[in-house]
Structure 1
Amino acid sequence: MRPVDTAVEPFLAAVADERRRADARALSALMAEVSGEPPALWAAGIVGFGTYHYRYESGREGDAPLVGFAPRKTQLVVYLVGGYEERYPQTLARLGPHKTGKGCLYLKRLADVDEGALRELIDRTVRVHRG
């Protein structure tokens, strides 16, 4: 996966739902602040911050954003470090309503979650990926 040559703001401006668009802009600002990296649009409509190189035991390797999100139609998908559920259960308990998947955190509305807990998950993900 690689960043694409498309500006982030027009992508976010095109998010159809007004609340989701506002949440996406707020999440973009939060991730930029925590990571210290500017947003970049990656393939598949992911807004990513920074980059890291990964290599699996199988030999497969590539680049990915340190942390990122995608403003999908029904929710925000936040891309965190793999295994975050096992790594940070107390932080997730404070977060508020969410769903989890392998490396993905699904949020309906930013207003419903604890910003401090979300900030902590983003910060820890960036730190792990930076090594």
Structure 2
Amino acid sequence: MATERTDVPVEVFLDGVTHRVRRRDAQTMLALMQRVTGETPYMWGPSIVGFGEYHYKYESGREGVTPAAAFSPRKPAMTVYLLPGITQHPELLERLGPHTTSVGCLYLKNLDDVDLDVLEALVRESYDAVQPPK
């Protein structure tokens, strides 16, 4: 998810989502992630809605900044970015409902088909995992 934060208003981007279900689900994700993170949403690149920031540094020395929580209403599915990765949450994924995954992404075709409480728990665990110690 390496990309830069932009000044494009989130509402402008979401208003431009043409897929009816993705646009509806994007509003649900926006509210869910605002509730979980307490952060103001910003656009990251042309199509990622992100909340907060996470500074990462790999053993190789490569480092950067990415959203601490994020989603993108892509045409084939809603993409939810989970840090530090999907494998951290197997018990929640079992209860979520229909989805597919890749290393750090959760793909959802329709939020009406998933358990939103479980999705919120996934986002919360992911977000909390990348917050600095208090």
Asked if TM exceeds 0.5, the reply is yes
Whichever structure has more helix as a proportion of its residues is 1
TM-score range, shorter chain: over 0.9
Equivalent positions of 1:87-106 (< 5 A) are: 87-106=88-107
2:65 maps to 63
CA RMSD of aligned residues (A): 1.0
Quick check: 1:126 aligned with 2:127? Answer: yes
Residues 25-104 of structure 1 aligned to structure 2 (within 5 Å): 25-85=27-87, 87-104=88-105
In 1, the alpha carbon distance for the partners of 2:40 and 2:96 equals 25
Cα drift, residue 84 of structure 1: 2.5
Structure 1 length-normalised TM: 0.95
- Residues 84, 130 of structure 2: 8 Å contact kept: no
CA-to-aligned-CA distance 1:16-71 (integer Å, 9 cap, x gap): 01221010011111001101101100014100000010000000000000010111
For the residues of structure 1 that align with 2:83 and 2:115, how far apart are their CA atoms?
19
One-letter amino acid of the counterpart of residue 22, structure 2: R
Task: In structure 2, give the amino acid aligned to 1:102.
Answer: V
Give the TM-score taking structure 2 as reference length.
0.93
Which amino acid is the alignment partner of residue 75 of structure 2?
A: K
For 2:11, give the aligned amino acid: E
AA in 2 matched with 1:26? T
Letter in 2 for 1:3: R
Gap runs ≥5 in structure 1: none
Write the distance in 2 (CA, Å) between the matches of 1:107 and 1:19.
11
CA distance in 1, matches of 2:40, 2:91: 29
Match of 2:118 in 1: 117
Q: Indicate conservation of the 8 Å contact 1:31/1:67, yes or no.
A: yes
| Partner SS for 1:41 | strand
